[in-house]
């Protein structure tokens, strides 16, 4: 059964979240919790959230509908204001290094004593023993071995996946509290999240020549007359239907030759009419660069892969 929440309260309706998390993972997690019905108060330092200077539009979307409060937590008056918020909150979301929180007398031990109902999800860079090591998405991906130098990553995997994991941990803590297990603390290490998302590559699935790295002719990117299409015909019935509709045998070079005879838009429409998993390769929405009908410029070259 599919549950449509568009016209009913979210599962976190009535939950009050205080977020002190700036940059991307924290605001992303807060927005996710808000989408599930939570009321979010975002605490920002006097200098604001760096995410606003990185992308004002995205930042605005993430905090839409939230109460944004500026507090200088080095000032006693503002600390008292924060404590007043925490006394009424169900969940605190942080993304500062534990040492920095301890200097502000905001360690979990102190918070749990002062606010026994409060749960906390702490987003940190590294796991046990490395929580105070600095880093960002780029360094976490580097450590996980999923960069393709010299190209920068197209997706902020650790930030985006870390935000989803933080929201999941928050929901788990709140559920446990509702079942009588008391409030709790959970830590989300972004480097560990990146390591988890590197698993397909580490197991060889997405390495060049791997099953999902070009080794299966039904799961590849093929050039068309004016761009590229992505073919994801992994299941035998899809692959056989693709070959049948193309009127070719099942070799990658034969499929490639057939797909180069027509433009990308033609193949996208052709596949839709035949219920085939084939899609145009498009540039990210709003981004400059090659679109489906434009082969990549030659200066980009072929990517290299981590070994």
Per-residue pLDDT tens for 120-145?
A: 999 999 998 888 999 999 999 999 99
Interior angle at CA 211, CA 207 and CA 216, nearest 5: 120
Q: Quick check: 117 pLDDT over 90?
A: yes
Do β-strands 185-189 and 228-232 pair in parallel, antiparallel, or remain unpaired? unpaired
Q: Quick check: 147 pLDDT over 90?
A: yes
Q: Which domains occur in the chain, in start order?
A: 16-200 (3.40.50.10540), 211-297 (3.30.1540.10)
Task: Return the closest-CA partner of residue 192 out of 135, 249, 144.
Answer: 144
Report CA Rg, the chain: 24
The confidence score (pLDDT) of residue 9 equals 76
User: What is the tens place of the pLDDT at every residue in 167-186?
Assistant: 999 999 999 999 999 999 99
Q: Quick check: 12 pLDDT over 60?
A: yes
Burial annotation 124-162 (CB, 10 A radius, 16+ → b, else e): bbbeeeeeeeebebebbbbbbebbeeeeeeeebbbbbbb
Residues 187 and 285: their CA atoms lie apart, in Å, by 33
User: What is the tens place of the pLDDT at every residue in 67-101?
Assistant: 999 999 999 999 999 999 999 999 999 999 999 99
Q: How far is CA 71 from CA 43, 45, 78, 80, 98, in A?
A: 7, 5, 6, 10, 19
Residues 178 and 288: their CA atoms lie apart, in Å, by 48
Which letter does DSSP use for residue 219 in this model? E
User: What is the tens place of the pLDDT at every residue in 36-68?
Assistant: 999 999 999 999 999 999 999 999 999 999 999
The chain-wide mean pLDDT, for the chain, equals 90
Q: Quick check: 5 pLDDT over 80?
A: no
Q: What is the 3-state secondary structure (H, E, C) of 246-273?
A: HCCCCCHHHHHHHHCCCCHHHHHHHHHH
Task: Return the closest-CA partner of residue 175 out of 190, 186, 188.
Answer: 186
Percentage of the chain beyond pLDDT 90 is: 87
Average pLDDT over every residue of 230-251: 95
Q: Quick check: 230 and 221 in contact, CB under 8 A?
A: yes
Selected residue with higher pLDDT from 5 and 209: 209
Q: Quick check: 285 and 292 in contact, CB under 8 A?
A: no
Q: Quick check: 1 pLDDT over 90?
A: no
The confidence score (pLDDT) of residue 7 equals 55
Q: Quick check: 12 and 37 in contact, CB under 8 A?
A: yes
Tell me, rounded to whole angstroms, the distance of Cα 34 from its chain centroid: 16
Do β-strands 16-19 and 91-94 pair in parallel, antiparallel, or remain unpaired? parallel
**What is the DSSP secondary-structure string of 19-72?**
E---TTHHHHHHHHHHHTT-EEEEEE-TT--HHHHH-HHHHHHHHTTSEEEE--
The confidence score (pLDDT) of residue 6 equals 55
Kindly report the pTM of this predicted structure: 0.85
Where does 69-156 have alpha helices with state H? 76-88, 98-103, 108-114, 137-144
Q: Quick check: 298 pLDDT over 50?
A: no
Do β-strands 228-232 and 278-280 pair in parallel, antiparallel, or remain unpaired? antiparallel
Q: Quick check: 19 and 40 in contact, CB under 8 A?
A: yes
């Amino acid at each position: 059964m599919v549950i449509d929440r568009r016209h009913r309260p979210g599962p976190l309706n009535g939950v009050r979240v205080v977020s002190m998390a700036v940059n991307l993972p924290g605001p992303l997690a807060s927005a996710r919790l808000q989408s599930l019905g939570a009321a979010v108060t975002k605490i920002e330092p006097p200098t604001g959230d760096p995410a606003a200077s990185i992308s004002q539009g995205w930042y605005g979307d993430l905090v839409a509908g939230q109460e944004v409060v500026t507090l200088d937590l080095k000032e006693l008056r503002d600390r008292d204001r924060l404590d007043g918020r925490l006394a009424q909150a169900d969940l605190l979301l942080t993304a500062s290094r534990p040492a920095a929180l301890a200097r502000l007398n905001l360690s979990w031990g102190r918070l749990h004593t002062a606010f026994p109902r409060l749960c906390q999800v702490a987003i940190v860079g590294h796991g046990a023993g490395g929580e105070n090591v600095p880093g960002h998405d780029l360094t976490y991906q580097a450590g996980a071995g999923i960069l393709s130098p010299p190209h920068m990553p197209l997706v902020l995997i650790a930030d985006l996946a870390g935000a989803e994991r933080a929201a999941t941990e928050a929901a788990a803590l709140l559920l446990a509290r509702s079942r009588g297990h008391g409030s709790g603390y959970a830590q989300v290490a972004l480097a560990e999240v990146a390591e988890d998302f590197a698993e397909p590559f580490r197991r060889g699935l997405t390495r060049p020549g791997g099953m999902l790295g070009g080794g299966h002719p039904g799961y590849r990117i093929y050039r068309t007359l004016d761009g590229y299409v992505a073919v994801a015909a992994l299941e035998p019935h899809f692959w056989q239907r693709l070959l049948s509709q193309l009127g070719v045998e099942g070799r990658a070079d034969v499929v490639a030759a057939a797909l180069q005879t027509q433009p990308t838009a033609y193949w996208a429409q052709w596949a839709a009419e035949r219920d085939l998993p084939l899609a145009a390769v498009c540039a990210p929405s709003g981004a400059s660069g090659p679109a489906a009908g434009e082969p990549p410029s030659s200066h980009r070259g072929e990517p290299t892969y981590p070994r």
